[in-house]
Amino acid sequence: MELRHLRYFVAVAEEKNFTRAAERLHIAQPPLSRQIQQLEEMLGVTLIEKGTRPVKLTEAGHFFLAHAKPLLDQVGELKSMTQRIGKLERTLSVGFVASTLYGLLPDIIRRYRDNNPEVEVTLHEMTTVEQIKALKEGRIDVGFGRLKSEDTSIRRILLREERMVVAAFPGHRLAGSENGVRLVELIHESILVYPKAPRPSFADQVLAAFNHANLTPESVVEVRELQIAMGLVAAGQGLAIVPESVQGMHHRNVVYRKLIDKHAVSPIFFSIRHMDRSPELENMLAAVYAIYDDLGIPHTKETL
Ligand code: BEZ
């Protein structure tokens, strides 16, 4: 059995359709059907029920799919790890969610650069969901994101839980609440959430915070990204709930107020490929903890 058999079968099973799978694999449909047939002959079992549309897997097909996917992920990981180890110059590609750029990310990156001047660091803004894909494809080496992905080929280290705050136009009735605001005071407001896609995203964390308090905001407006949400807040179009790092984004028409609800927090994760134990990553984690120590931010210390 060749790796291509696994790849072809996973595409058919995921697309539930031979034509779409062939398009995704950039091959014609007849050779794809032949390869699947060959795979079934090699295994001596039927993986796909005959004549079903959309494609339906047999019990053996479901079993094969569940094991083929992690195997393909591991192969992808093996490829990017080997390329990384074989490279002469040392590089570190970092994916980050936009909010971290207004908080501690610049300090962490500067600290890392100061201590590791031989490493070429590149930064890429992307959502947490995009980071997981980019890690698996070897386009980044570490992701700083906010969502807990269940992907087994990715290792996540929880760095800390960051409090959420409310961003409002200075003329808004809640802008005067210097001691903080409670979620219940926001339910009749227009709540701007981001990013609209891909989901799940920080938008779902904000909605989950309301849900956790048994609250449903009357109006939720989904916008493409953080910067758009903040621009609309400044224009008086609504309120946004953002991680407190975003307070580093100074805007003369936006004020930030604490959210009093204890559960209104957003985690920050350090995500890497499961097998990756490179010194670049160890040093990056050390730079994060060094900045936390300097600023007195409580945290536990994990090792790779
Ligand atoms: C933080 O705010 O804790 C953080 C930001 C960027 C990278 C790592 C941690």
**Atom 7 of ligand 1 has which residue's CA nearest to it?**
105
Among 2-11, 68-77, 251-260, the minimum mean pLDDT is found in 68-77
On the question of pLDDT at 36 being above 80, the answer is: yes
Mean of all residue pLDDT scores within the chain? 94
- Give Cβ neighbours of residue 176 (< 8 Å, ≥ 6 apart): none
Q: What is the CATH number of the domain that holds 108?
A: 3.40.190.290
Are 148 and 269 part of one and the same domain?
Answer: yes
**Chosen domain end from 84, 113, 148:** 84
Give me the domain span that covers residue 74: 3-84
> If you average pLDDT over residues 27-42, what whole number do you get?
95
Are 79 and 99 part of one and the same domain?
Answer: no
The pair of structure tokens assigned to 52 is 């079903």
**Chosen domain end from 20, 55, 84:** 84
CB atoms under 10 Å from CB of 212, counted, come to 12
CA distance 255 to 298: 26
Burial class (CB in 10 A: 0-12, 13-18, 19+), 264: buried
> If you average pLDDT over residues 75-101, what whole number do you get?
86
Q: Taking the model in full, what pTM does it have?
A: 0.79
- Give Cβ neighbours of residue 303 (< 8 Å, ≥ 6 apart): 282, 285
Are 163 and 35 part of one and the same domain?
Answer: no
pLDDT digits (tens, 9 = 90+) for 176-234: 999 999 999 999 999 999 999 998 999 999 999 999 999 999 999 999 999 999 999 99
Determine the pLDDT at residue 150: 82
Are 52 and 105 part of one and the same domain?
Answer: no
Phi, psi of 171 (to 5 degrees): -85, 0
Determine the pLDDT at residue 277: 87
On the question of pLDDT at 151 being above 90, the answer is: no
Are 39 and 13 part of one and the same domain?
Answer: yes
Phi, psi of 188 (to 5 degrees): -95, 5
Q: What is the CATH number of the domain that holds 72?
A: 1.10.10.10
Determine the pLDDT at residue 98: 94
146 touches 126 (CB < 8 A):
no
Q: Which of 230, 239, 265 is nearest to 174 (CA)?
A: 239
Are 29 and 163 part of one and the same domain?
Answer: no
Q: Which of 105, 272, 283 best tests ligand 1's pocket when mutated (most atoms within 8 Å of CB)?
A: 105
Are 79 and 96 part of one and the same domain?
Answer: no
- Ramachandran category for residue 278: left, alpha or beta (phi over 0 → left; psi -120 to 50 → alpha): beta
The pair of structure tokens assigned to 63 is 């079993």
Burial class (CB in 10 A: 0-12, 13-18, 19+), 122: exposed
Are 221 and 161 part of one and the same domain?
Answer: yes
Q: How many domains does the chain have?
A: 2
Determine the pLDDT at residue 149: 78
Are 47 and 123 part of one and the same domain?
Answer: no
**Chosen domain end from 84, 109, 135:** 84
Are 46 and 173 part of one and the same domain?
Answer: no
Determine the pLDDT at residue 89: 73
- Ramachandran category for residue 275: left, alpha or beta (phi over 0 → left; psi -120 to 50 → alpha): alpha
Q: What is the DSSP string of 39-57?
A: HHHHHTS--B-TT-SS--B
Are 51 and 186 part of one and the same domain?
Answer: no
Question: Using a 6 Å CB cutoff, which residues line ligand 1?
Answer: 100, 103-105, 108, 144, 159-160, 245, 268, 288
On the question of pLDDT at 88 being above 70, the answer is: no
DSSP state of 185: G
CA distance 165 to 234: 15
CA of 277 to the centre of ligand 1 (A): 20
Q: Which of 244, 288, 300 best tests ligand 1's pocket when mutated (most atoms within 8 Å of CB)?
A: 288
The distance in angstroms from the start CA to the end CA of the chain is: 34
